[in-house]
């Protein structure tokens, strides 16, 4: 499917975010990760993030937006929201469209990564509800990865599903990241990191 217009394209990789006041086509590739497309239509500012993991430790029943369990997802969301506010967006006017959270890993029920897609989906919905950001559109879950194109001028999102076999490299990278984050957490509770 050809995308309308010829906007400059920005590709957002896992762990990154991008926002702008100018027209862009923001593209990202999602497996069990989640991308949030946020926009303030009054200020004409929009952005997208791509987070891999809601937390270094997680469980289906763990509260994700109240404890440290949501810090990865919360960090990604706050980075995007703060960057948009620096451009002039109002947090009160933000609207959201969210994508991803597919079950693409093909793991057994005994594997501790089995619910990462469910936790990512639940996290983004809880975060948006807690922050009173309206969720206008979602395409979460399923078993196929997605390529997302978010147009910052119209706030439209174009989604294309990816065949399961085409995601092998992405899945391997996601698993490597999750294993490192869970088995060797980077920062300890209470440690201060300056950046």
Above pLDDT 70, what percent of the chain?
A: 67
> Mean pLDDT for the chain?
80
pLDDT of 15 > 90? The answer is: no
**Residue in 24, 43, 38 with CA at minimum distance from that of residue 153:** 24
Q: How far apart are CA 51 and CA 120, in angstroms?
A: 9
Q: How far apart are CA 159 and CA 133, in angstroms?
A: 22
**Whether pTM exceeds 0.85:** no
Q: How far apart are CA 160 and CA 146, in angstroms?
A: 6
pLDDT digits over 54-108, tens only?
Answer: 655 545 555 544 433 334 788 899 999 999 999 999 999 999 999 999 988 665 4
Indicate the class that CATH gives domain 9-161+169-183: alpha beta
For residue 102, the Cα-to-chain-centroid distance in whole angstroms is: 12
* Residue 54 dihedral angles phi and psi, to the nearest 5°: -70, -30
- pLDDT of the residue at 138: 97
């Amino acid at each position: 499917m050809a995308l309308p217009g010829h906007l400059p394209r920005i590709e957002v990789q896992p762990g990154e975010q991008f926002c702008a006041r100018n027209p862009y086509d923001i593209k990202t590739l999602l497996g069990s990760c989640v991308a949030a497309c946020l926009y303030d239509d009054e200020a004409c500012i929009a952005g997208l993030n791509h987070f891999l993991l809601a937390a270094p430790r997680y469980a289906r029943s763990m509260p994700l937006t109240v404890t440290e369990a949501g810090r990865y997802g919360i960090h990604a969301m706050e980075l995007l929201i703060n960057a948009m506010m620096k451009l002039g967006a109002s947090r009160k006017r933000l609207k959201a469209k969210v994508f991803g959270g597919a079950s693409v890993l093909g793991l057994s029920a005994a594997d501790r990564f089995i619910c990462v897609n469910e936790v990512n989906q639940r996290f983004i919905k809880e975060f948006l509800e807690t922050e009173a950001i309206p969720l206008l559109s979602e395409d979460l879950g399923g078993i196929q990865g997605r390529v997302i194109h978010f147009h910052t001028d119209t706030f439209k999102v174009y989604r294309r599903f990816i065949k399961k076999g085409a995601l092998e490299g992405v899945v391997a990278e996601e698993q490597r990241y999750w294993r490192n984050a869970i088995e060797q957490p980077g920062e300890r509770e209470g440690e201060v990191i300056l950046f």
